[in-house]
Chain A
Amino acid sequence: AQTVTQSQPEMSVQEAETVTLSCTYDTSESDYYLFWYKQPPSRQMILVIRQEAYKQQNATENRFSVNFQKAAKSFSLKISDSQLGDAAMYFCAYNGEYGNKLVFGAGTILRVKS
């Protein structure tokens, strides 16, 4: 079974600075999808970024980018120019090639200081 591990329960960043959230996963599949979701206190889960494992190029969405290391099974999220609105719980998630069952990590709370 696939597992997703987020080893940082909580992270803090100063406004306008850069922060990196870590995620590792375990799978025997060769093709799959990886996601970062953001969950603010309102509980609405919002997709931040998506990476397809067969694509070598790291995904980027405005201030959000990933460092995808397939061999190391690592998928970290970098947030540049952090804003107060980035404060939330961030979940890393895995979805296999043949199913659509998202497996989530335990989450990382991101606090942004002004």
Chain B
Amino acid sequence: EAGVAQSPRYKIIEKRQSVAFWCNPISGHATLYWYQQILGQGPKLLIQFQNNGVVDDSQLPKDRFSAERLKGVDSTLKIQPAKLEDSAVYLCASSLELLAVQFFGPGTRLTVL
């Protein structure tokens, strides 16, 4: 079975630019998550979708971050405008349902200069 796919793997941008990340979950997984992992820290949940509805976005900086999951399958996470402190690895994960084990993608490493 194919795993969680993410692209791009790496992205370097200037501050104040915008950037978007894409995630395709494991087929049939209803729940999708975006995590931010700053260097030297554990991942922190940004947003969680159940099908195409948002379950939890309490830690998403909504003034600059947005995410959508059209048709309840793949998802995009956008940052506009980017700040230096947004430099991190952005991990996407999916699970069959709520409370099920989460499977992670390889992540996108973002560097903001």
Contact = CB atoms under 8 A, between A and B. Distances in A.
Given A50-B101, A100-B95, A43 B106 contact: yes
Interface residues of B, number: 26
Interface in A56-114: 91, 93, 95, 97, 99-102, 104-107
Contacts, number: 57
Given A45-B43, A45-B91, A99 B104 contact: no
A44 interface: yes
Contacts of B93: 45
A16 interface: no
Contacts of A35: 101
- A-B pairs, top 6 by smallest CB distance, nearest first, are A104-B42, A45-B104, A43-B107, A100-B98, A44-B106, A91-B42
Interface of B: 31, 33, 40-45, 48, 55-56, 89, 91, 93, 95, 98-107, 109
